[in-house]
Structure 1
Amino acid sequence: MADIFRAPPIHRTISHALRLAREREESETLLGEETPADRSGCIIPAQTNKHNPYSHLPVYKSIHRIRRLILASIDDPYTLDQLMSPRINVAIVRPLTDRLFDPDDISIVYCLLVNRQRFLHDQVFQAHHQTVNNTRATLCELLASRVLRKFNEENPTRMGLLVLANILVSGFEPFQNCPEDVLIDNRRLLHERDINNSAIQWDRMTNALEVGIISESKAFLASTACQRVVESLYRGRIVYTPNSMMDIIPDHYKRRGVSLYDPRKAPILNHYRLIVPRTRAILEFAQFVVLLILYVMTMVNREQSTVTWWEVTFIIYGAGWMLDETASILEHGWQVHTQNLWSFLDLSFCGIFSVYLIVRAHGAASGNVEVGVQALDILACAAPIMFPRIAFNIMPENLLFISLRAMMRDFLVLTAVAFWCFCGFLFAMSWLSRWRGAEDVHIPPVEISKWMLWIWFGLDGTGIQHSVDFHLILGPILMISFAFLGNTLFLTILVSMLSNTFSKIAADATQEIQFRRAVLTFEGVKSDAVFAYRPPFNLLAVVVLVPLRFVITPRWFHKIHITAARVLNAPILLAISWFERKHLWQKAKRGMQSGAIRRSTSTFNVLGQFQAHRELQEVFDVDPPQQMIDEIEEEDVIEDDMLEFGYSNNQRDRSKSPQATESMRRRRFSSVAPQF
């Protein structure tokens, strides 16, 4: 057993590290002309409509194998720092990483994250296990990061980037390759498989990136290897067709596998580029700016008796925008959508807009002017939501907005609990208010609630003054008790909770920012055809294309959809094509020829010539000559030997280190020593 868990020695040398860094940098350069690509610009697609190259992977077996290993390895609760300590790292983490890592099995990361989600679920419903399940979930996340890092180290080139992308976004089914007995026991799975005649169940598949977001594996999503893929997905260098929960306009006639994208070999009007996360974020921001302008013009030019053209335009455009928001929720599910930084603002606006639309329609149908005025008053309450949303879009990685989202959640939870607890005080004081002689001193509950609210926020003590109207003795006791509990105890708890939340987010600011970036990227990749149409044209697309897909073949439906999307988005697609052909991939760096430095034009434009201290950056954009590289490599060989043998237990090897150091020092400085 000791031999199984013994990790092989790993010697990471300077030359090896520099070579990996150089290969990773070259993986982001422009694709060569000889690179094979199809007509859509996709290079080496891994999955198609009818083929899944990872269908042979034993996902079901790996999930249960990992669970057994984790249960056997962790019996006591540990923190993340303790799991990363040298002792536990050597005893548990590194042996499990080496045991689970398999270069031919890319589903291990997915299986680890699935187990993390399960352990977090067990911790909620099995609290008697203390926090041991949280520790097991943390270990699964740590192992997933280590395994992904090993894949990254062994695949640093451009094709390695494609391997990492397949690990994170390729779809897997938890019951993949499970025994037939399991299918027989689970009648629902067996029934679905019989209905689909063993076809690929794309809608039942999830990927490692999605499971990582659902389980809030922030350390995993913030790892270097994961962010390398997230950045490529965000820019559109890697493309794939995601697995959606529900499509309003489904068009899966052509399914794109995980592949690299070459804009030079793609059509100029490529409608698939409308769902690239970076392009999608820019378009969504522009759409919201248009919505905000229409909202302001509607409120400025509103009329009580009639509906203005500004309001009609706002209603139509707002309905299209709300359809886009609804499709986003259906695309990846409620759990993923609510992880977005500004999702609570969008959902709040959708609620206010829906109430406004219903009340406004009721007022117009009944001819009641006062009801129409109330609808506009309801719409006015959306202003505190719409204007901050612009700031959230402009600064999505600002720590203040990230903290504000989490603190709002804590505030609402504690406020709901406090309201529930203090309802008893409201009922007690309302029941104490009664007839006293001939004078009616009954106080309505609304008035009592107002007094309690003022006391809650420390604004006014009117409720304490009128507490004798409830009862001469019991009234003041109840009101003063509420003041102590509400204004002192609960507000102190609220401030402590919000301070603790902000402290946690500030301590892990990098992970929080990169987690939100991963959420934005994953949610930005869409498969629903409705996202190819800008509001309000998406309303027209739903009205026309949804009934049409039932009467024509999928091939003709796909052709009609492509034609409509390219015609309606022609200016946008032309701008995207022009920009990506120049800036999607970095141009290869050029070195020195004949002693003259040729500066790279991909990094510094004309404006960069006027930048102060630009040489500090340009020195890295020029590759040194081969002769100098050979000299550096020769010196690094001796340094590599020192790294490998300098701290050996062998006295003979250690005795060589000073000589190697002195020899290296003489050779290094002999050519540059000053002559006197």
Structure 2
Amino acid sequence: MDPEQPSSALLAPTLENLASVKVFPLIPALKKDVTVYSALSWDQLTAADINFSIVRPIVNKYARLKNMAVVYACLVVRSYFLSESDCDLAFAGVMLSRASLCEILAYKLLGRFATNYIQLVAVLTTSWSPLAGATHEIIVEVKQNLGTQDVESSQSALEMAISTDAKAFLSSPVTQKVVNDIYNGTVVFSHTAHRSILADNYKPRAIEIYDPQKAPFLDHYRLRVPKYGKYFEFLNFALLLLTFILCLSTQDKTKLTIWEVAFIIFGSAFTLEEYTASTEHGWIIYIANTWNAFDFSLVVIFLVYLGLRIKGLSFNDLSTSSMAFDILSCAACILFPRLAFFAVSDNVIVLSLRAMIAQFVFFIGIAAICFSGLLFALWTLAIDNGTQQTSWPISSIAWLMVQIWFGNTSLSFDQATSFHPLLGPILMTIFAALSNTLLLTILICILSNTVARIDSNATQEHLYQFTISTIEGVKSDALFSYQPPFNLLALIILKPASWFLSPRALHSTNVFLIKLTSLPQLIIIGLYERYLSSGRRLRESGKDAAYSFYNSLPRHIKNIPLVEALVGSASNDLYDAIFEVEVAEDFDIFDESDDDAPALRSLDSRENIRASGTSPGPRHRKRPSSLNASRTSPSPQASPRQRVISTLSPNDVPQTSPRQRVISTHSPNDVFASPDVITTSFRSPLARLFNQRSPVDGPAVGEASLRRIETLLDDVRSLPVQRLKEEMKELQDRQARIENLLLMLTRGMRNESKQGTIST
């Protein structure tokens, strides 16, 4: 068995299946279906109405195709709308809205593949050709539009998202799950090298989940894992910085020193690595990384130094060699902070540094163009003065304007009259006011807004940069498996060998050289993945032992703050243990009567109560007679305002009225039998008076009833007038509501009676 083959057969899409996926038919179909005719913001596009009316139907339509290239096609259409927004400014807002809608469709369609993780990785990492599935006539027409026969350009969905700045798509949890696994080396795959300097496509590997226990110990593919590549990159920068310092410390303009030769070797290896990285994924993805912009500046400085140094040594020109070292010393402005940025790469200021530099350079360029007219005017005035022609050349005027721009305004007033007695002070005053007061204030506001904007989306920006660095770490070029300066050796040996060696022989030679030059790194990676990274079970068992020891301690020792801080709070363990319990039976914590409680009930009239002799309400439930027999009447000395509430079930009490009336189940004759027993509950004596009605066919009101009425009237006299008005108004409102409710309830009965009369 070949040790380089996958150790286990996973349900991953084969290369034949991926090659048969049709990509091109999706592109015009998506372009047609993305129909947004208004300039909408991102929040408006993600609102519920747009989601259900526009986004969801399109997602369901294309999800039924089960085409793994649909996410890539959405991002291709997004790139089209972004380019259209730059060309057609009249409809730029609409085009940007359509581009945002394509991004929303991309990450919603990506979620449909999340059930199969291997398939999800294939959707994001497979390099798709946009012309796959197109007819021959379409391919010919595309070649004619491009003016070339080379139309082989394939990219993955992740690369397409980076090139179109789809930051919301890249920062989504589904995408970041795949990106994190690629970064850690959990997911293993390889691309077919098309634009590589040294291609080794003999054994393309399908997507698999890496298992260090089944993989070979010296696995040279682990050198391409982005997580390990970051550590190697840090060491390479440290060695480059060390040789750089020693080169400038021991510089000799007449000959090459040992440390200068070492620096030239490491600098050439670094330049080759950066060039290979820009060729692998394209310039757009390469320059999108913030750190690659610094690295590219370092490469430019190194190449200028190397050219001047070769010229100075060839012609024995000491001034040229001196200029070469002077230019090389400027590289310290990039090398020192570049090494420090490895530790603070997630800082907001570092993330916004690239955007701030770009806006600063653009603003300074616009200002220089605007003030070029002033430069020419001052130069002309100096020439007209005659005596000042030699003392004010155009370079001196430009340097004077730069000093004034950056705050040295005193020079503008001192030298103004040397240009012209009248116009010189006027022009220099205007320039000083514009540069120091207006333009610098605008520049500070622009940079502050840039930092604030990136600060609000710091997480999204960080994940965007993290995705770029991860994708750059997964490279198919064989030179990336070599650590500098051994990549120079591999280029010198393997590039000529690739012209006459077979693919198998080239692959075997390449693997041998990788293991020979990177043997210490492979041993460290193998030991780490087998005994440290995969030794989490040992650490977990030790943690369980520590917890068991902690649980065996006495309570007064457990409650010591230091012990709790070291071991952890026991409350979290209790909560976790509660949720781990499987409940076999459901606990009935709700009363069934709560579900039956009516929202609106009307009490029966007193006549019905007397006629039936039962408790009021439409939900009458007959109670045992022992319930009434067990009631005891209140003491005769009780106050007339005392409220006696009878024992009613919750179903017999109206739940919605704020002024509930609870009527007992005594017989009607008992209501008026004793003056001290009041079986209806109201808030005031006035309410009891107005709601107490004498029975029509009952016995005559006795002396006790008259005394009770007199007592109630005395209570009413003691009430404040304002309170009486409020209660009367409240009673009127209640009566009006009851009448309206009765009209509504009896409307149907009245209609039925009329219909019955007509029919008869």
TM-score (norm 2): 0.70
Of residues 94, 101, 122, the one that matches 1:166 is: 122
Give the aligned partner of residue 565 of structure 2. Answer: 612
- Equivalences for 1:498-509 in 2 at 5 Å? 498-509=447-458
Spell out, residue by residue over 1:494-525, the C-alpha distance to the aligned partner (whole angstroms, 9 max, x if none).
11211111111011111111111111111110
Matched letter for residue 317 of structure 1 = F
Contact kept, 8 Å, 1:251 with 1:529, in 2: the verdict is: yes
Once the two structures are TM-superposed, the CA of residue 635 in structure 1 deviates from its matched residue by 6.0
Of residues 451, 456, 463, the one that matches 2:412 is: 463
- RMSD between aligned alpha carbons? 3.4
Deviates more, 1:75-84 or 1:489-498: 489-498
Once the two structures are TM-superposed, the CA of residue 191 in structure 1 deviates from its matched residue by 11
Q: Distance in 2 between matches of 1:551 and 1:340?
A: 37
Contact kept, 8 Å, 2:254 with 2:316, in 1: the verdict is: no
Q: Distance in 2 between matches of 1:378 and 1:547?
A: 34
**SS of residue matched to 2:209:** strand
Spell out, residue by residue over 1:565-588, the C-alpha distance to the aligned partner (whole angstroms, 9 max, x if none).
111111101111121234556867
Contact kept, 8 Å, 1:454 with 1:461, in 2: the verdict is: no
Contact kept, 8 Å, 1:598 with 1:622, in 2: the verdict is: no
**SS of residue matched to 1:129:** helix
Spell out, residue by residue over 1:22-45, the C-alpha distance to the aligned partner (whole angstroms, 9 max, x if none).
xxxxxxxxxxxxxx9964547538
Q: Does 1:59 align with 2:23?
A: yes
Matched letter for residue 421 of structure 2 = L
Matched letter for residue 84 of structure 1 = T
Q: Distance in 2 between matches of 1:544 and 1:437?
A: 67
Contact kept, 8 Å, 2:13 with 2:122, in 1: the verdict is: no
- Equivalences for 1:380-399 in 2 at 5 Å? 380-399=329-348
- Equivalences for 1:249-288 in 2 at 5 Å? 249-288=198-237
Alpha-carbon spacing, 1:440–1:453, altered in 2? closer, same or farther (3 Å): closer
Q: Does 1:70 align with 2:34?
A: yes
Q: Distance in 2 between matches of 1:110 and 1:425?
A: 51
Contact kept, 8 Å, 1:548 with 1:557, in 2: the verdict is: yes
Deviates more, 1:456-465 or 1:535-544: 456-465
Q: Distance in 2 between matches of 1:368 and 1:351?
A: 22
Alpha-carbon spacing, 1:64–1:636, altered in 2? closer, same or farther (3 Å): farther
Q: Distance in 1 between matches of 2:483 and 2:540?
A: 45
Alpha-carbon spacing, 1:534–1:636, altered in 2? closer, same or farther (3 Å): farther
Give the aligned partner of residue 485 of structure 2. Answer: 536
Matched letter for residue 180 of structure 1 = H
Give the aligned partner of residue 6 of structure 1. Answer: none
Contact kept, 8 Å, 2:193 with 2:201, in 1: the verdict is: no
**SS of residue matched to 1:500:** helix
Give the aligned partner of residue 140 of structure 1. Answer: 102
Matched residue count: 577
Of residues 40, 54, 59, the one that matches 1:92 is: 54
Once the two structures are TM-superposed, the CA of residue 638 in structure 1 deviates from its matched residue by 12
Spell out, residue by residue over 1:254-299, the C-alpha distance to the aligned partner (whole angstroms, 9 max, x if none).
1122222222222111111111111111111110111011111222
- Equivalences for 1:323-334 in 2 at 5 Å? 323-334=272-283
Q: Does 1:115 align with 2:77?
A: yes
Matched letter for residue 525 of structure 2 = I
Give the aligned partner of residue 365 of structure 2. Answer: 416
Give the aligned partner of residue 106 of structure 1. Answer: 68
Q: Does 1:179 align with 2:128?
A: no
Of residues 569, 585, 595, the one that matches 2:518 is: 569
Once the two structures are TM-superposed, the CA of residue 219 in structure 1 deviates from its matched residue by 0.6
Matched letter for residue 141 of structure 2 = D
- Equivalences for 1:119-130 in 2 at 5 Å? 119-130=81-92
Matched letter for residue 58 of structure 1 = K
Q: Distance in 1 between matches of 2:326 and 2:311?
A: 15
Contact kept, 8 Å, 2:412 with 2:429, in 1: the verdict is: no
Contact kept, 8 Å, 1:39 with 1:266, in 2: the verdict is: no
Larger Rg computed on CA atoms? 2
State the identity %. 33
Gapped regions of structure 2 (runs ≥ 5)? 549-561, 596-760
Q: Does 1:631 align with 2:583?
A: yes
Deviates more, 1:512-521 or 1:393-402: 393-402
TM-score (norm 1): 0.78
Of residues 513, 516, 527, the one that matches 1:578 is: 527
Q: Distance in 1 between matches of 2:22 and 2:570?
A: 48
Alpha-carbon spacing, 1:529–1:235, altered in 2? closer, same or farther (3 Å): same
Alpha-carbon spacing, 1:440–1:551, altered in 2? closer, same or farther (3 Å): closer
Q: Distance in 2 between matches of 1:610 and 1:147?
A: 50
Gapped regions of structure 1 (runs ≥ 5)? 1-35, 196-200, 602-608, 640-645, 647-676
Matched letter for residue 43 of structure 2 = D
**SS of residue matched to 2:342:** helix
Q: Could you say which structure has the greater relative contact order, defined with CA pairs below 8 angstroms and 6 or more residues apart?
A: 1
Alpha-carbon spacing, 1:333–1:217, altered in 2? closer, same or farther (3 Å): same
Contact kept, 8 Å, 1:263 with 1:581, in 2: the verdict is: yes
Once the two structures are TM-superposed, the CA of residue 252 in structure 1 deviates from its matched residue by 0.9
**SS of residue matched to 2:476:** coil
Q: Distance in 2 between matches of 1:217 and 1:635?
A: 48
Of residues 387, 392, 403, the one that matches 1:454 is: 403
**SS of residue matched to 1:113:** helix
Contact kept, 8 Å, 1:107 with 1:172, in 2: the verdict is: yes
Contact kept, 8 Å, 1:169 with 1:258, in 2: the verdict is: no
Once the two structures are TM-superposed, the CA of residue 403 in structure 1 deviates from its matched residue by 1.1
Q: Distance in 2 between matches of 1:222 and 1:346?
A: 25
- Equivalences for 1:409-558 in 2 at 5 Å? 409-434=358-383, 436=385, 442-558=391-507
Deviates more, 1:288-297 or 1:612-621: 612-621
Q: Does 1:240 align with 2:204?
A: no
Once the two structures are TM-superposed, the CA of residue 489 in structure 1 deviates from its matched residue by 2.7
Alpha-carbon spacing, 1:576–1:138, altered in 2? closer, same or farther (3 Å): same
Deviates more, 1:120-129 or 1:385-394: 385-394
Spell out, residue by residue over 1:43-78, the C-alpha distance to the aligned partner (whole angstroms, 9 max, x if none).
538467xx331233332111111111112xx10011
**SS of residue matched to 1:60:** coil
Alpha-carbon spacing, 1:214–1:611, altered in 2? closer, same or farther (3 Å): farther
